[in-house]
Amino acid sequence: MPALSDIANAVIRDEIEEFLERPDEIERNVALFAAMRPAMQDIAAALIEGDNHTVDALTARALEDGTEALEIMDDGLIAGMGIVGIKFRENFIFVPEVLACARAMKAGMAHIEPILSASGVEPAGTVIMGTVKGDLHDIGKNLCIMMLSGAGFEVIDLGVDTSEDEFIAALEEHEAPIMGMSALLTTTMPNMGKTIEALIDADLRDDVMVMVGGAPVTQEFADDMGADGYGKDALSCVALAKKLMEEHGQAGR
Ligand code: B12
């Protein structure tokens, strides 16, 4: 089993030692960071410190050195944000610090976005994406959008705090076969179900495949609300969108 001392970056070692308390989270993060290249650990450390300039510079350098954009996203950026999430949950840090980390994440994403989005393949279909009403979290949604664009989907981004009416207006305007909703708060998750209800009321439910995601969302919750699919991360979002496109075609919609 990997040990804390297997992690090259001192900031990451200190963060795990000082702020992680649950044995499963310690074990998972030690294994994750110990297996990671030191350059990715450095990006994660700068993100955890909310240092957007360093994340910006290190991400650019890693790409120049030939590191894959996906590796930087998964290892440097998402793994770093995982530690931030735990510290936030345990009240070691608060909204202003998390906002600084989110800014640092966006600084890194700005470099990988053009790479993940530059696919040059035939348009795979249109997807409408939005974070549901009352919810301002957009990092995960934006990662999904980058990956979808990279896979050839045209994505209409409705942003955050998206009302049922805004989803409906976008569907009517773009006639998209797929709609994706993101929610990060247990209090806003029910708004996904409410949006699906609104689609039924507007007589649009049969025209569109609905996919949902976000950290608190589960397959079971997705089934209960009547969504057509659930994806746990940006990669599964793309796989799901492709599957739903096929199902949409088979249903003759
Ligand atoms: C960053 C962050 C913020 C930032 C958001 C900045 C931004 N621009 O997004 C700020 C500081 C603004 C914020 C505010 C708040 N937050 Co906040 N936040 C987080 C944090 C730390 C990370 C979220 C994140 O970006 N994760 C990284 C991304 C990559 O992961 P992801 O979003 O899950 O997305 C992936 C998958 O879920 C999936 N996915 C996502 N969407 C979709 C959609 C589809 C269709 C598919 C298929 C897949 C998919 O793919 C993504 C990529 O792999 C989480 C902790 C956590 N562990 O989630 C708390 C967290 C979500 N926040 C929380 C809270 C409580 C709040 C506040 C209420 C705090 C406050 N007191 O004000 C406010 C709410 C504001 C609002 N109305 O929305 C709680 C929610 C608790 C709960 N049970 O509901 C969490 C869990 C922290 C905690 N444990 O306490 N937050």
For a mutational test of ligand 1's pocket, the pick from 29, 78, 88, 189, i.e. the residue with the most ligand atoms closer than 8 A to its C-beta, is 88
Residues 6+ apart with CB under 8 A from 44: 9, 12, 33, 36, 75, 76, 77, 79, 80, 83
Q: Which domains does the chain have, with CATH numbers?
A: 4-117 (1.10.1240.10), 125-250 (3.40.50.280)
135 lines ligand 1 (CB under 6 A): yes
- Number of helices followed by number of strands (H, E) in the chain: 12, 5
Cross-sheet strand order for the sheet of 153-157: 153-157, 125-131, 178-182, 209-213, 229-230
Q: Which atom of ligand 1 is nearest to the CA of 236?
A: 47
Query: Which residue, judged by its Cα, is nearest atom 90 of ligand 1?
Result: 89
251 lines ligand 1 (CB under 6 A): no
Distance between CA atoms of 219 and 98, rounded to whole angstroms? 28
Segment 67-87 mean pLDDT = 93
What three-state secondary structure class fits 8?
A: coil
Q: What pLDDT sits at residue 189? A: 98
Distance between CA atoms of 106 and 38, rounded to whole angstroms? 21
What three-state secondary structure class fits 6?
A: helix
Segment 142-158 mean pLDDT = 89
pLDDT in tens, 88-136: 999 999 999 999 998 999 999 999 988 887 756 667 899 999 999 999 9
E-strand spans in the chain?
A: 125-131, 153-157, 178-182, 209-213, 229-230
- The neighbour count for residue 251, using CB atoms within 10 Å, is 11
Global pTM reads 0.89
Q: 181 C-alpha vs ligand 1 centroid, how far in Å?
A: 13
Q: What pLDDT sits at residue 235? A: 84
Q: Could you give the percent of the chain with pLDDT greater than 90?
A: 85
Distance between CA atoms of 101 and 54, rounded to whole angstroms? 12
Q: Is residue 156 within 8 Å of residue 127, measured between CB atoms?
A: yes
- The neighbour count for residue 142, using CB atoms within 10 Å, is 21
Q: What pLDDT sits at residue 154? A: 92
Q: Which atom of ligand 1 is nearest to the CA of 214?
A: 37
